[in-house]
Structure 1
Amino acid sequence: MEVKELGHLVLYVRDIERSARFYRDVLGWRQILPAPGADSNAFAVFNAPSGRTHHELLLIEVGEDAAALPEGRRVGLYHFGLKIGTSDDELREALAKLRETGTPVLGMSDHTATHSLYIADPDGNEIELYVDVPGVDWETPEAIGSPVKPLHL
């Protein structure tokens, strides 16, 4: 077997409307089902504006009484990365949008091959918004194994 690409991500969320607004209105995902404002049936399906595939994100509502993600080091998902471009200008635009929407930035990092902002969705799932750094040969181990440095935009 050979994995060809990461196909989609499924997240449990407490409040489907709140989470759908975040992924749609803050991050710019295109909501496929249900149509925004329609009865959600406790799920929402999205794809990126590129329309690369049938769906890339599925949110499933589990209710306000669902257990929270444990804090600190734990087994399981740390974060997922969303490529938003190939230039620091695009990262600056994202930072402005995050500030405009009141979305806290948890961190900013220079990984040599990528420059990244870290945020969390309304349920605490951490998300890396990144751009590939032009001219970096990311296929060499040195490019992706470099020490993480602070990012200044």
Structure 2
Amino acid sequence: MTAPYAPSARIGHVHLKVADLDRAITFYSNVLGFEVQSRLGNDAAFLGADGYHHHIGLNTWRSKGGTPAPEHHTGLFHTAILYPSRADLATAVQRVIDAGFPVLGASDHGVSEAIYFNDPDGNGVELYRDRHTAEWPRHDDGSLQMYSRPLQLDDLLSGVA
């Protein structure tokens, strides 16, 4: 196996093609709480958290007025947004539900808890939180034992004020 070129490399942001820029900004800003950092007229916007230049890029360069990608085609499965705590995850999920977006799935992966839904353009979105590494399930040889088990959404949301 080849050693990683940059062991600390990570994914920093995602750019999404959207049909309606204002509708997408409303969702990612008003529902999920990202702040508009910059906007390029009616064609693109860049949203971030904590003053970062952008975690999410939204553009209509090749998609203005378009429709969601059809099922069973290649493309982005989902964008995953990591929350620092279970309480923060629960609050975000409740905001999505309150905005009228149906939850499509909720999974316990052993290392994380994740909730899935689609944004207004049909792009998959995962909201998740990682468990502390000491809690990650492991096989006898020490390798990760990830899985997909149902997550009890009512339990997650029970602490939301």
Smaller-chain TM-score range?
0.7 to 0.9
Shift in CA distance, 138/46, structure 1 to aligned 2, threshold 3 Å: farther
Query: What corresponds to 2:144 in structure 1?
Result: 142
1:54 shift after superposition: 2.4
CA distance in 1, matches of 2:31, 2:109: 24
Q: Given that residues 67 and 121 in structure 2 are in contact (C-alpha distance below 8 angstroms), is that contact kept between their aligned partners in structure 1?
A: no
For 1:68, the aligned partner's letter is: P
The offset of 1:75, in angstroms, is 2.4
Report the AA paired with residue 17 of structure 1. D
Give % identity: 32
SS in 2 for 1:142: coil
Q: CA deviation at 1:32?
A: 0.8
| One-letter identity of the residue aligned with 1:46 | L
How much does 1:55 deviate? 1.8
Shift of 1:44: 0.8
| 1:43 has 2:44 as partner | yes
User: Which one of the candidate residues 19, 23, 27 is aligned to 1:18?
Assistant: 23
Match of 1:60? 59
Q: 2: CA distance between counterparts of 1:11 and 1:111? A: 26
1:79 aligned residue = 78
Q: What is the CA-CA distance between 1:142 and the residue it aligns to? A: 2.2
RMSD: 2.2
Q: What is the correspondence of 1:123-138 to structure 2 with a 5 Å cutoff?
A: 123-134=121-132, 135-137=134-136
* Equivalent residue, structure 1, for 2:97: 99
TM-score, scaled relative to structure 1: 0.81
SS at match of 2:121: coil
1:66-123 deviation line (CA, Å, top 9, x unaligned): 3531213x32211121101222x33322222122111211110000000011011111
Which position in structure 2 is the counterpart of 1:6? Answer: 11
Deviation per residue, 1:6-52 (Å, 9 max, x gap): 12211110000000000001111111123xxxx8332111112x33x
For structure 2, which runs of at least 5 residues remain unmatched after alignment?
A: 156-161
| Partner amino acid, structure 2, of 1:112 | G
